[in-house]
Structure 1
Amino acid sequence: MSKTLFITGATSGFGAATARRFAADGWSIVICGRREERLYALADELGCLTPVHPLKLDVQDAEAVTQAIASLPSGFRRIHTLVNNAGLALAPAAMQDVQLADLHTMINTNITGVVNVTHALLPTLIETGAGTNIINIGSTAGEWPYPGSHVYGASKAFIKQFSYNLRCDLLGTGVRVTDLAPGIAETEFSVVRNSGNKAAANSVYEGTVPLSAEDIAEQIAHIANLPDHININRVEMVPVRQAWGPYAIHREQSPSHEQDA
């Protein structure tokens, strides 16, 4: 019997690349997303390789999540690996200059959505037992601050601590938990973050070599296929060209003094 992957945010970026990676290995896959056209196109693409169940789902809606998981077809109910990938960043300006609605959208997707899906699937994962995985997609922003990260970085810090705390709660169940925290990676993520401004999004990667969605998918596959007795608590994964910035120090401008004639 093949193992089953349940992945949120599967219609682009890390999610789509991960679905393709696991399909190539013959896993059965539940792909979740809000963009119906993309969701079914991906299901058609992968369906020639492996069993795929597309699930149009907004992870922010707890009732919809519960109902969708309860109604999974019999061949997709025994989940081996959950990848909480659905998430986004918005409004990369200073906190005082952004709309409150954008902040709430990040909280509701990056935090509430992860909690909704994880809580709904925990009984299934525990029943499946040894070697099962919860892989939460965090970010280096959850560890290292930078201007414009505000709620996004805080939401990914939640992912890190949530993952650690789940490890404590799930001790003895065989369910493994990992926080996978990528650095800069070239996907649609920056286009969404910049409200569709592709020029602004492309400038993030200009002149450097970022991670790719396939890089992240490969790491997810590695974690999911480890021997049952190994748990990777956290992976912080960055391109070799990304490091930490210098300290930011604001200095007052020295007043100019006219010299005496």
Structure 2
Amino acid sequence: MFKNLKGKTVFITGASAGIGEACAQAFASAGCHIILTARRTKRIEELKAELDQQYPDIRTLAVTLDVTSKEAVDQVVTNLPADFQSVDILINNAGLVLGLTPLADYPVDQIDTMINTNVKGLIYCTQAFIPRMKQAPRGGHIVNVSSISGREVYPNGSVYCATKHAVDVITRTLRFELADSPIRVSSINPGLVETEFSKVRFEGDQQRADQVYAGMTPLTGSDIAELAVFITSRPAHVEIADTLILPHGQASATFVHRQK
């Protein structure tokens, strides 16, 4: 089913945990070569070692990267080893949410971190790969991991929702700009996924993070990764533009049926 992916090279941002880590596992199992990037060097090096052991027929590379720095992104992409130079799939996964705060009270550092990571980081990585993918014999595929928050808004989520709305706008605009190229552009918009997401949002408060998923069965990183593999494994003439994936019982960003 995923034979179209075998031998392709996948560049994943935010690969140290959650959806990014699950994408690395899923694409590796499909026979892809994997470039793991994240700020947490130890985590991606451990993941590389795990993938090397599980999948000896593929190549893996772990590179420390802070996507908020355009200079760092350009340097990493330019200096990829020769056998990783041709990247077929870019998974723009790096992103985060900080706080649940009214706009009037949002700390400036949290605003900057979300915008720099969720929006600028995605832009920098996409800019770095578009020229390469245009020239590549097999073209390329850009997959932006967004959120249901890119389609809706909710109280105290103004900045995060704004960043994910920006991802949606960028993705849809790219589809116009790249229509005459061999590059496909897709967006995955998950609902509640149990990763480190809520723990980061609530500054390490595990009990508060657990309450986000109480009384329901949330999605996992693997659920999103399986969708990313499916999207990118379609024939070249098929472009799955946009997907919304929710756990059963979630009907909107804020409406979730919970078992008592």
TM-score by length of 2: 0.92
Whether 1:90 aligns to 2:88 is: no
**What residue is the counterpart of 1:252 in the other structure?**
none
Q: Number of aligned pairs? A: 246
**What residue is the counterpart of 2:33 in the other structure?**
28
Match of 1:58 among 66, 69, 78: 66
Whether 1:102 aligns to 2:110 is: yes
Counterpart amino acid of residue 93 in structure 1: T
**What residue is the counterpart of 1:166 in the other structure?**
174
Task: For 2:97 and 2:23, locate their aligned partners in 1 and report how far apart those are by CA, in whole Å.
Answer: 20
Q: Confirm or deny: 8 A CA contact 1:129 1:173 kept in the other structure.
A: no
Task: For 2:26 and 2:105, locate their aligned partners in 1 and report how far apart those are by CA, in whole Å.
Answer: 40
Task: For 2:181 and 2:28, locate their aligned partners in 1 and report how far apart those are by CA, in whole Å.
Answer: 27
Task: For 1:158 and 1:98, locate their aligned partners in 2 and report how far apart those are by CA, in whole Å.
Answer: 19
Deviation (angstroms), 1:145: 0.8
Task: For 1:106 and 1:202, locate their aligned partners in 2 and report how far apart those are by CA, in whole Å.
Answer: 22
- SS of match in other structure, 1:164: helix
- Farther-moved stretch of structure 1 (160-169 vs 124-133): 124-133
Structure 2 gaps, min length 5:
1-5, 256-260
Task: For 2:140 and 2:73, locate their aligned partners in 1 and report how far apart those are by CA, in whole Å.
Answer: 20
Task: For 2:137 and 2:245, locate their aligned partners in 1 and report how far apart those are by CA, in whole Å.
Answer: 28
Q: Percent identity?
A: 37
Deviation (angstroms), 1:130: 4.6
**What residue is the counterpart of 1:249 in the other structure?**
none
Deviations 1:37-80 (A, max 9, x none): 10100111111212101110000010111011000011111111
- SS of match in other structure, 2:15: coil
**Rg larger in structure:** 1
Task: For 1:151 and 1:220, locate their aligned partners in 2 and report how far apart those are by CA, in whole Å.
Answer: 26
Deviation (angstroms), 1:97: 2.6
**What residue is the counterpart of 1:111 in the other structure?**
119
Q: Confirm or deny: 8 A CA contact 1:131 1:229 kept in the other structure.
A: no
TM-score by length of 1: 0.91
Q: Which 4+ stretches in 1 moved above 3 angstroms?
A: none
Deviation (angstroms), 1:34: 0.3
Structure 1 gaps, min length 5:
247-261
